[in-house]
């Protein structure tokens, strides 16, 4: 069904009258865009979302970049979807998400007093 057809009130009503079972059957029948199965979802790896991690910590891009030694341009590229983090960066973001304080401490050890 073309988008122009959906804009007509009679077509909108027929789509809204579809049952969940009919919707699922129509989606499954679409060879170019089938829904993901439970098996497909299980194989997919979740990529850490840097913006969500940063916002959960309640800090700005500049503070996050400085605290975790990530170039600010790289951080912005990740957040805006221009570039995806590589495997090492994904692992690093996962560690930050799970234990941000430990990462901060590891990157900024206490200074020893000089004698």
Note the pLDDT tens digit of each residue in 6-62. Answer: 455 555 555 578 888 988 888 888 888 878 888 877 777 666 799 999 999 999 999
Instruction: Please state, in angstroms and rounded to a whole number, the distance separating the CA atoms of residues 113 and 49.
Output: 38
The count of residues in the chain is 115
| Token reading at 101 | 């304080």
pLDDT at 36: 80
Are 65 and 75 in contact by the 8 Å Cβ rule? The answer is yes
Q: Return the CATH superfamily for domain 50-107.
A: lambda repressor-like DNA-binding domains (1.10.260.40)
49 C-beta neighbours (distance < 10 Å), count: 14
pTM of the shown model: 0.57
Counting DSSP H helices and E strands in the chain, the numbers are 9, 0
Instruction: Please state, in angstroms and rounded to a whole number, the distance separating the CA atoms of residues 80 and 54.
Output: 13
77 C-beta neighbours (distance < 10 Å), count: 15
Report residue 113's pLDDT band, with 50, 70 and 90 as the boundaries: low
SS3 85: coil
Note the pLDDT tens digit of each residue in 75-95. Answer: 999 999 899 999 999 999 999
| Token reading at 110 | 């206490």
Domain boundaries in the chain?
3-43, 50-107
């Amino acid at each position: 069904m073309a988008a122009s057809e959906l804009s007509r009130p009679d077509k909108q009503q027929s789509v809204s009258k579809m049952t969940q079972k009919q919707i699922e059957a129509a989606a499954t029948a679409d060879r170019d865009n089938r829904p993901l199965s439970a098996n497909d979802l299980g194989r997919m790896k979740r990529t850490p979302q840097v913006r969500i991690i940063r916002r959960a910590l309640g800090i700005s891009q500049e503070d996050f970049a400085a605290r975790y030694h990530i170039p600010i341009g790289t951080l912005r590229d990740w957040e805006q979807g221009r570039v995806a983090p590589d495997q090492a960066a994904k692992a690093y973001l996962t560690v930050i998400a799970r234990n941000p304080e430990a990462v901060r401490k590891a990157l900024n050890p206490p200074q020893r007093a000089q004698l």
